[in-house]
Amino acid sequence: MSEPVRPDELRVSDVERTAVQERLRRAVADGQLDLHDFDVRLQSVWATKTRGDLARVTADLPEPPPPPPPPAPRQVFSADDAGTALRVLTIIWACAVAINLVVWGTVSLATTQFLHPWWLYVAGPPGAVLAVLYAFGIGRPGR
């Protein structure tokens, strides 16, 4: 009766050789092997016949580090982003109101007539929207 074949003496397949080849490529990428050593080892991988020979090709290489954990999902908008947006909108609104007020005042002084305060139409509706946003706490920093 014949003795069973030891695992080291089993013949290797091309799939196993390809897996070791990928392991060697990762070792080059990690800086564990230089290109000359990679080439020599790769030639021996494709020349191996048994699993024992194949295991000896990578025996001196440490296990590759585990892949980094995936990044934590980031919120699309945070309270800080909303606060920044509200400040920017308020600054834009204030600039538009100031420009319109200056134009209205200049025209009123130049014509020496009190003109209808049309700048209030520019200031009122957007200012009311900003006030409601602020009143409901949208864009205010958390406490």
What's the confidence (pLDDT) of residue 78?
63
| Spans of all domains in the chain | 7-57, 79-135
Token duo for residue 87? 């400040």
Q: What are 11's strand-pairing partners? A: 50
Cβ atoms of 45 and 24 closer than 8 Å: yes
Separation of first and last alpha carbons in the chain: 82
Which among 103, 92, 98 has a CA at the least distance from the CA of 126? 92
Asked if 76 contacts 128 with a C-beta cutoff of 8 angstroms, the reply is no
Residue 142 has pLDDT above 80, yes or no: no
Residue range 37-54: mean pLDDT, rounded = 93
Each residue of 80-116: pLDDT tens digit? 677 788 889 999 999 999 999 999 999 999 998 888 9
pLDDT of residue 77: 60
Which residues neighbour 123 within 8 Å (Cβ) at sequence distance 6 or greater? Answer: 93, 96, 97, 100, 101
Of 46-55, 72-81, 123-132, the range with the lowest mean pLDDT is 72-81
What does the pLDDT read at residue 73?
A: 79
Q: What is the mean pLDDT of residues 32-60?
A: 92
Quick one: pLDDT band at residue 76, thresholds 50, 70, 90? low
Tokens matching residue 116 = 């209808």
Euclidean distance between CA atoms 15 and 23, whole angstroms:
13
Residue 79 has pLDDT above 80, yes or no: no
